[in-house]
Structure 1
């Protein structure tokens, strides 16, 4: 897919051959996104071998839909879509943006919004009426990104473990 504002960007569904790049983009983007939010030891402890296994399993299981974004044939980001994992009744018709990450040098240039909009369209084509995303409560940048894209804070919170106990908040938006 090409976007009129970003002629150099291509978004497509991931294949097995993308696993090595996916794993590296995951590590690099995760570390930059969560510096000073997640414990440094947790971020530094991420290994390429772990991420290779993770993405091999993710693609082979097929429960989640993984897409990659490339610019000039270089993978710069990815997103993962799935059925909403939240058990709230209103989310039974929701698709979840499980992950969306870009390499740091591509942030703030419109690529993230392009990838998000593409993902929301895909959720709509899959039949979901709502898009849901969970964001770390302390990640002001990501929260602003979703709010700017029309997501509304739902008031739900949950705890996750990433080297420490962290709070996530849920956002949602109607897919039109």
Structure 2
């Protein structure tokens, strides 16, 4: 296990988080998402979008970063459920979880997820939900080890004219 501390993300973390997210996509989704889509992703564009999102008034989501010796090495974003998540206001949603590709499997992701679960529980959510690409077997195993189970919900996303299915996973907090 790599030693990190988890804290709230701040604006100074945006570039690092964008690098983690873009590199995470490019590593995790190679062979799943079209290469053209992955190659077109840039840290700069992601950081611009993240700055806009991060500074949005009334934003209800929370962002946590795992910080190690080299700065942020992981990021999780979570909050109230978006569309497609049943639960009558008692379900929270993990929107995104990424770890620097060279640190996958070291416990950083699990630490971030545990902190997100604790925070959601503190916000009186009873369950947590998330979406994962059906073909992302590694992520599915990770979430299943953390107590998530596919609940039958599905949705499709299109990446460069290729339609990919996502599965909805849920767990009790």
TM over 0.5: same fold?
yes
Q: Could you tell me which residue of structure 2 aligns to residue 78 of structure 1?
A: 75
Tell which has more relative contact order, 1 or 2 (C-alpha 8 A, sep 6+).
2
**Kept after mapping to 2: 8 A contact 1:96/1:132:** yes
- Gaps of at least 5 residues in structure 1 are none
Q: How many residues align?
A: 170
Q: Could you tell me which residue of structure 2 aligns to residue 12 of structure 1?
A: 7
For residues 17 and 143 of structure 2, the distance between their equivalents in structure 1, rounded to whole angstroms, comes to: 23
TM-score, structure 1 normalization: 0.90
- Gaps of at least 5 residues in structure 2 are none
Q: Could you tell me which residue of structure 2 aligns to residue 168 of structure 1?
A: 166
- CA 88–32 in structure 1, closer or farther in 2 if over 3 Å, else same: closer
Aligned-residue Cα RMSD (Å) equals 1.5
Q: Deviations over 1:86-118 (max 9, x none)?
A: 345435311100000111111111111111111
User: Which one of 115, 118, 123 corresponds to residue 115 of structure 2?
Assistant: 118
Q: Could you tell me which residue of structure 2 aligns to residue 158 of structure 1?
A: 155
- CA 88–110 in structure 1, closer or farther in 2 if over 3 Å, else same: closer
For residues 162 and 15 of structure 1, the distance between their equivalents in structure 2, rounded to whole angstroms, comes to: 30
Is the aligned partner of 1:131 residue 2:128? yes
Q: Deviations over 1:110-146 (max 9, x none)?
A: 1111111111111111121110010000111111111
For residues 85 and 100 of structure 1, the distance between their equivalents in structure 2, rounded to whole angstroms, comes to: 16
**Kept after mapping to 2: 8 A contact 1:134/1:168:** yes
Q: Could you tell me which residue of structure 2 aligns to residue 97 of structure 1?
A: 94
For residues 16 and 100 of structure 1, the distance between their equivalents in structure 2, rounded to whole angstroms, comes to: 18
For residues 165 and 122 of structure 1, the distance between their equivalents in structure 2, rounded to whole angstroms, comes to: 33
For residues 18 and 86 of structure 2, the distance between their equivalents in structure 1, rounded to whole angstroms, comes to: 34
